[in-house]
Structures are given as C-alpha cells and as structure tokens.
Structure 1
Amino acid sequence: MESKRISQYIRSIELARDKVPSFSQYPFNLPAVTNLDTLSLHPKVTFFVGENGSGKSTILEAIAVAYGFNAEGGTKNFNFSSRATHSDLDNYMKIVKGIRKPRTGFFFRAESFYNFASNIDDLDSELSCGPPLIDSYGGRSLHEQSHGESFFAVFLNKFSGEGLYILDEPEAALSPSRQMSMLARMHELVEQGSQFIIATHSPIIMAYPEATIYQIQDEIEEVSYEETEHVQIMRTFLNKPQKMLRLLLE
C-alpha cells in the first residue's frame, strides 16, 4: 500500500493553520476547515461526505484549485470565469503529491456545469480551424442534452486512464441507474491508474469498495461505509417508509 501511496497523484492535503487569519471567518469557520489538519488520500478513491454547509465542497474546490484546475470546473486548460465565488482556501492548502503526474484530469462541479458547457460552445464558435472541441466530449453540444446525459457524455468520452478526477456531487445529475453505471466506469478508470476525490451525498456512489470515506460532522472522521449517516438514514427510510413518513408528516 505504501508504494501505491508514493506513486499516487495526490498523497495528502494539509492546511497551513499557522497562516489562517481567523477561524471565525469564512471559509475557516466551516466545520470541515476548522478541524482540518492533515488528511491522507486513498490511492484510488477518497470520499468526503457530510451535511449541506459542512464545507466538503469548499475543501474539494480548494484541492482542485491548488492543484491547478479552474475554480468553475473542466480540465486544466479551461480558464473561464462567469463569477468569482470561490473561497481563498486554496491559498492555505498544501497538496502533497506523489512521484507520478496524471496524464489527464478533470474537475467536475454540478453547480457550474452549465457555465462549463457554455464555454465549450463559445470556444467552438471562435475556432477557425481544427476539429471542434465538442468532438472530445461526444460530438453533441452538452446544452442539447439533459443535465444527466451531458455529464455522462463527459464522463464516458473525456475521462480516461491515468487521470486525476475531482468530482463535486456528481449524483446531482444522475439517476440511480446512471450512478451505478458511473461506479462501473469509475472502476475501469481506477484499474487504468486513475485517482478519484469525490464529495457526495449518494449511498450508491460512496459504496465503491475499499475507498477512504471522510465524514464531516463536528469534526472530520474516517468511517466505514456502514457508519455513514447517509447510508443509515437511507436504509431506515427504505426499510420502513410508512413509519418514517408518519413521523415526518404528522
């Protein structure tokens, strides 16, 4: 395992706590950031899970930007900005890299995917020669597909082996069956030397075997799949939906 960690693309992340101006200010007052020191990442798949507002997406964004990705998503070649809303947490984040560099990579953000798709169309409209950029995303404008179809087109056509993929809530675009298809595709890419770092609420996606799962509540804790709050709540609801509905709706 140690040899795999040395050769992975991102081995760990560290917060420069001594340089943080104040832990009472955003984004340092978020639970995920307040309790962040050093976190080791799995050579294959690492998940960040937690409630809305816990700061998992903020950490993911900081990892991506500190590594060189555009804050609104895409490959490292994208530099568009529709609105500067990302935090400056990346300035205090140290990325501990392995000895290998990824051949490719992608930062997916569900909330800014529309802007990413628009940027591809804009770039293609400005091209005077060469193949359209959209060809590498399946050949059909991402705006001409449903949100789920467009993301899955990117996942199938743009993602390849030996890549670093940072995904923020990919389930927002995917049906349960597509989430299971995503797991299968993830496994193909992992077997081809890729590394995934994912923030998610989905019990389906976070079921990927042998992954590291960090649950963010009052602190950041490494947990098993069965210990995640998402899985426990979903299982309780599905096992006794009528009882849960009575409690919720009375």
Structure 2
Amino acid sequence: MFLKSITILKEKITNTKDYPFSLPLIKNNEVIHFSANVTFFVGENGSGKSTLLEAIAYQCGFNTAGGGRNNNHYVEASEAALGDYVRLSWLPKITNGFFMRSESFYQFATHIDEVGARDSYGGKSLHCQSHGESFLSLFKNRFGKKAIYLLDEPEAALSPARQLSLLTIIKELSNFSQFIIATHSPILLGYPDAQIISFDHGQLTEINYEDTDHYQITRRFLENRSKILKELFED
C-alpha cells in the first residue's frame, strides 16, 4: 500500500449546511485508514463515495474529470468540492496513477483522440469500441505501473463476464499497485481479502463481503426470485 489514510480537515470547513459538507460522511468521520491493497467503497447513492474518491484524485493531482496527472480536459460538474478539505498520508508517496470516472468516460475518450494518444490505449480509438470493450481497453493498456488507481463504478459498462476479467487485472496489479474502488457490484466486491468500507448509516464502517447489502439483496433475489417479484408487484 501507498496511501495509508485520509484525514478530513474539519477545522477548515466553515459552512456545514452546504453540500458536500452536510453529508454524514463529513460530520461523523475524521480519519479513514486503508488496510489492504484493494479497498472498496460501498453505500447507497448520495452517501459520499464518489465525493471522497474525487477528493483523493484531486489531492493526487489527477484530473477530476477522469485521467492521470497529464490529462488536461474539462467536464462540467467534475470539480472536487471536498478536495481542499482532506489530507492524504502516504508511505511512500507516489505520483503515478489514474482516476477512472465512469460518468465522464465519453469525454475522456474524446480527449485521448484529440491529443493523439491512442497508442497508449491499444492503438484504437476508445470511441471505436463498445462501451464495455473501451473500459477493458483502458484497464489493460493504461494500467500496469506501480501506481494508485481510483475507480468510480467501473462496472457501469461491464457485463458480469467482463467484471470477472477486471478482477483478474486487479489481481495481476495488486502486488505492486493500490486500488480504491467505489462500486455497487457484488461481483467486484467478492475480490479476496479486500477491505470493504460501508458509507451507510453515516459512520464509515469496515464490513465483511457477506454483510454488504449488495451481497445479501442479490443472493435473496437469486434464491427467491418469484417470491420477491410477487412482493414488489402486489398492491
């Protein structure tokens, strides 16, 4: 691991009523520790997973619209509002890495075409591949150095089979790289020995895979599909 912890600089926050400073994530937590090379952020939408991931990317010097330190492109609403209010603790500090932001990946692919950097992504425009293929092309060709990789919902364009492919890529790189991943995928969360941090209930809590809502709801649905659908659709 390289990134050991994140400290929320509460003394710098002057308006706790504005987003994202109104989030329970900010009110109820001060230091987040990392204990594994692969860490997952889980929780309901709006709990602050992406907000914290963007803040980490900002402090790493990565483009918060998606990319690394040398990717200069702009996407509206990609500013890291929490970026100046966290401190990262490293041992050792590294500068290599990438912030993968699923919701602005189209703009990132356009940026790569504009700067003529296709060779670093498999030699083919990311726009000339399916959404899922372009995601995997990024993972296979751009990832590989001793680095920290920040992934925001990488499963967005990946089929279950390709999510398994992503797990193999993470496994290959995890011996010399660190991953922090915000996800809703019960497949990705099944990565062995990963640290899983739940953002639900305000207080960040480290939980086991089998205790995540993602695992429990998916398992319940698969084992009792007819019953659950009946309960959902009944008046």
Partner of 2:132: helix, strand, or coil? helix
Instruction: Kindly state the Cα deviation for residue 165 of structure 1 after the two structures are TM-superposed.
Output: 0.3
Q: Which runs of 4+ in 1 moved over 6 A?
A: none
Q: Identify if the C-alpha distance between structure 1 residues 68 and 100 changes in structure 2 by more than 3 Å, giving closer, same or farther.
A: closer
How big is each residue's C-alpha offset from its partner over 1:99-140, in whole Å with a ceiling of 9 and x where there is no partner?
Answer: 2525x311100001011001011112xxxxxxxx10110111
Instruction: Kindly state the Cα deviation for residue 88 of structure 1 after the two structures are TM-superposed.
Output: 2.0
How big is each residue's C-alpha offset from its partner over 1:23-46, in whole Å with a ceiling of 9 and x where there is no partner?
Answer: 221001123233231011134111
In the superposition, the TM-score normalised over structure 2's length comes to 0.95
2:136 corresponding residue in structure 1: 152
2:158 corresponding residue in structure 1: 174
Q: Which structure 2 segments of 5+ residues have no match?
A: none
2:113 corresponding residue in structure 1: 121
Whole-Å separation in 1 of the counterparts to 2:35 and 2:194: 7
1:162 aligned onto 2:155 = no
1:224 aligned onto 2:208 = yes
1:75 aligned onto 2:42 = no
- Count of aligned pairs: 233
In the superposition, the TM-score normalised over structure 1's length comes to 0.90
Instruction: Kindly state the Cα deviation for residue 84 of structure 1 after the two structures are TM-superposed.
Output: 4.2
Whole-Å separation in 2 of the counterparts to 1:69 and 1:35: 27
Q: Output the aligned Cα RMSD.
A: 1.3
Q: Which structure 1 segments of 5+ residues have no match?
A: 1-7, 125-132
Q: Identify if the C-alpha distance between structure 1 residues 35 and 184 changes in structure 2 by more than 3 Å, giving closer, same or farther.
A: same
- Counting aligned pairs with the same residue, the percent is 49
Whole-Å separation in 1 of the counterparts to 2:143 and 2:24: 32
Partner of 1:14: helix, strand, or coil? strand
Q: CA contact under 8 A between 2:36 and 2:195: conserved in structure 1?
A: no
1:11 aligned onto 2:4 = yes
Instruction: Kindly state the Cα deviation for residue 67 of structure 1 after the two structures are TM-superposed.
Output: 1.2
Whole-Å separation in 2 of the counterparts to 1:72 and 1:221: 28
Which of 202, 209, 228 is matched with 2:192 structurally? Answer: 209
How big is each residue's C-alpha offset from its partner over 1:188-219, in whole Å with a ceiling of 9 and x where there is no partner?
Answer: 0012x010000000011011111111111122
